[in-house]
Amino acid sequence: MSNYLESANQILNKIIALYSNIALMMGELKTIEFSDIYLLLIRWVFPVLAVTIFVRCVLPLLRSEPYNTVWGYLQVPDSIKIPLQHWENSIGRSKLSDIVINLPFVSRTHAVLSFSAGTWSVFDLGSKGGVLVNDERIVKSKTVKDGDTISLAGAEFRLLAPEDGPEQQENPAAWFSRFSHHFSSGKTLFMIFLFQFLGGIQIYFSMGQDANPKLLGIFLAFILLEASYFLFMMTYTRKYIELELLAFFLCGINLFVVASAVPDQIAKQLIAIVCGIAVFIALGLLIRDLGRARKLKYVFVFGALVLLVLNLTIGEVRFGAKNWINLGFMSFQPMELIKVAFVMAGTATLDKLLTTRNITAFIGFAGACIGALILMRDLGTAVVFFAAFLVIAFMRSGDLRTIAYACSGAVLGAIAVVSFLPYVASRFEAWGRVWEYANTIGYQQTRTLIAAASGGVLGVGGGNGFLVNIPAAANDLVFGLVCEEWGLIVALITVLIILFFAVLAVSLMRECKSPFYAIAACGAAAIFLVQAALNVFGSVDLLPLTGITLPFVSNGGTSMVTSWALLAFIKAADDRGRPDREGVGD
């Protein structure tokens, strides 16, 4: 019995001790500012919001489309109707054809049926048996009208337009869609507003006496911009909006980073975001028509070549690389913009893709870009271009051997570059053992790791970090900056969103209208991926530090505009309509 009393007494003592502690704390509370309490509570909100926003955007986008748009039918006489689900459909004996005809006299890739500006055409891909339209042998290509017969080496079909405009067909894997159907885009957008507004207030508080109310204005203006984009798109289009929501989220992080590291550049950065969104919309409209997109490709490549020459002649050197052009009223990085043209240059329509394996022109353009980058001493960007080149070249040719040759050539080239340029060699020297060179060549990486560790899972609060004092923190070390101020979870979500852009591009392939969009989307995805890898892993010493920007997140106007432009390619590959927006015009 005395034992129990003893324990009860001990517990009572403990409670009294605890309460006296709290009482002491209450005494101290008088000296605590409102902003302290704000951060204490709000820092738990950011990771939760970030994860929720990520999940709510990703699930609807990954869903398997319940309906496939059918643009027309191929009728086998007295038999089935084969739906045409893409703008460009390959026909042949090969298992990888969109329409497989297992007859011995049909070639492996026999013909392409393509739909452009409301009319269908058939292309003969140099088949042995030939293609006949209404019993007339065609040379290369011919327009086909509703009701015409197409004969592939004797196999006859009749082209039929869909009864009532493009038709939708039920897809069996619809259960997943119904599950993710419940996420409303509006609520997700509201969470993004909340994230950005609360974060803006936190940074405002962190500035103490120097706080400028203009900062809050910038965040409000950005939220307004997002809201109007959302309202416009929800009213006038039938496409998903989650892709843009994710990009908005990243732009919000970008504004946090700029507000914390270089507050006087934040207005400029907001303008860059506005330009980026404008480019995103414009590019999307321009490439919507396949014929126009093909012409645009040549304009872009020409423009890129002009920029390339300009950069090499009147370019300015900043941070050791000659990759800036100063126009007096503004300066920009031409190589960023050239990325967009580079992706365009790699694209091809299905008939070209299947007939010519020749990609010499593209190789030439890639060589020019990469060569110029090495001359400019911008090796990180050269790696980005090379990786995009590999992906696009593989998409075009499907030839692993060529890719392997190109890679081994590049490795040899890289070794040569590293041994000739001491400044590159020093980065390799620090790689993997930055702590040994913590105050010399490992300076930026160790500071990034220290900052990331200081942030913990929740972060020390926007504007409270010290990494901002390190040169290029808002560009090259931006992952560490986000990690320090907003916590590990928000930083990881940021990178995961960029990864998701690539995964989305891949998942869109099957439903894609034309290889043109497919290749562009994958090219853009490759650039996003390699930039994210070089930026994040470079700053945390998993790769050598290269000074590449993190798409959407790093400070910089040209980088922001380019990120949006590249995103337009991924958006263009997505032709699905929102289930709640059936019947609204395109």
Partner 1 sequence: MKLLTRRALVVLVLSIIILLGLVIFTIGYIRDASTWVTHASNRHLYTNAQLMETGTIYDRKGEILFQTRDGAKKYHDNKTVRTAVLHTIGDTNDNIATGAQVAFKEKLTGWNIVSGAYRFNQRLSHFKNDLHLTLDADVCMTAYNALKGRKGTVGVYNYKTGEILCMVSSPSFDPENPPDVQADPVKFEGVYINRLLSATYTPGSAFKLVTAAAAIDNLEDIDTRIYHCDGKTNIDGVMVTCPTPHGDVSFEQALAHSCNVAFAEAILSLGASNLQDYSDMAGFNSSLMVDGIRTAAGKVNVSDAAGGDLAWAGIGQYDNTANPLCFMAYVGSIANEGVSVSPGILKGNIFSALIKPVTGKKRILSEETAEKLGNMMRKNVIDVYGEGNYQGLKLCAKSGTAQVGEDKAPHAWFVGYMDREDCPLAFVVVVENGGSGSKVAGPVAEKVLRSAVNSMN
**31 belongs to the binding site for partner 1 (CB under 8 A):** yes
**366 belongs to the binding site for partner 1 (CB under 8 A):** no
Stretch 513-572 residues interacting with partner 1 (CB under 8 A)? 515, 518-519, 522, 525-526, 529-530, 532-533, 536-537, 540, 542
| DSSP one-letter string for 99-150 | EE---TTS-SS-EEEEEETTEEEEEE-S-SS-EEETTEE-SSEEEE-TT-EE
**197 belongs to the binding site for partner 1 (CB under 8 A):** no
Stretch 462-501 residues interacting with partner 1 (CB under 8 A)? 464, 466, 484, 487-488, 492, 495-496, 499
Question: Cα–Cα distance between 388 and 422 in angstroms, integer?
Answer: 26
What phi and psi, each to the nearest 5 degrees, are found at residue 69? -75, 130
Stretch 411-450 residues interacting with partner 1 (CB under 8 A)? 438-439, 446-447, 449-450
**510 belongs to the binding site for partner 1 (CB under 8 A):** yes
Residues in the chain: 586
For the CB of residue 401, give the shortest distance to partner 1 in the complex, in Å: 14
For the CB of residue 274, give the shortest distance to partner 1 in the complex, in Å: 30
Q: Which residues of 526-557 are buried (b: 16+ CB within 10 A; e: fewer)?
A: bbbbbbbbbbbbbbbbebbbbbbbbbbbbbbb
The H or E element that residue 317 is part of is strand 316-318
**407 belongs to the binding site for partner 1 (CB under 8 A):** no
**96 belongs to the binding site for partner 1 (CB under 8 A):** yes
At 441, list the tokens: 């060549």
Looking at beta carbons only, is 18 or 306 nearer to partner 1? 18
Residue from 11, 231, 271, 306 in contact with partner 1 (CB under 8 A) = 11
Helix, strand, coil percentages (3-state) for the chain, rounded to 5, are: 60, 10, 25
Residue from 53, 57, 74, 97 in contact with partner 1 (CB under 8 A) = 97
Residues in contact with partner 1, shown as a per-residue x/- string from 118 to 147 under the rule CB under 8 A:
------------------------------
Residue from 241, 379, 502, 568 in contact with partner 1 (CB under 8 A) = 502
> If binding means CB under 8 A, how many residues of this protein chain bind partner 1?
74
Residues in contact with partner 1, shown as a per-residue x/- string from 282 to 321 under the rule CB under 8 A:
----------------------------------------
Looking at beta carbons only, is 39 or 215 nearer to partner 1? 39
At 264, list the tokens: 């006087």
Residue from 346, 380, 461, 557 in contact with partner 1 (CB under 8 A) = 461
**Count of beta carbons in the 10 Å neighbourhood of residue 171:** 13
Residue from 116, 149, 168, 454 in contact with partner 1 (CB under 8 A) = 454
Contact 380, 411 (CB under 8 A): no
Question: Burial of 264 by CB count in 10 Å (0-12 exposed, 13-18 middle, 19+ buried)?
Answer: exposed
Looking at beta carbons only, is 321 or 451 nearer to partner 1? 451
Residue from 394, 413, 472, 581 in contact with partner 1 (CB under 8 A) = 394
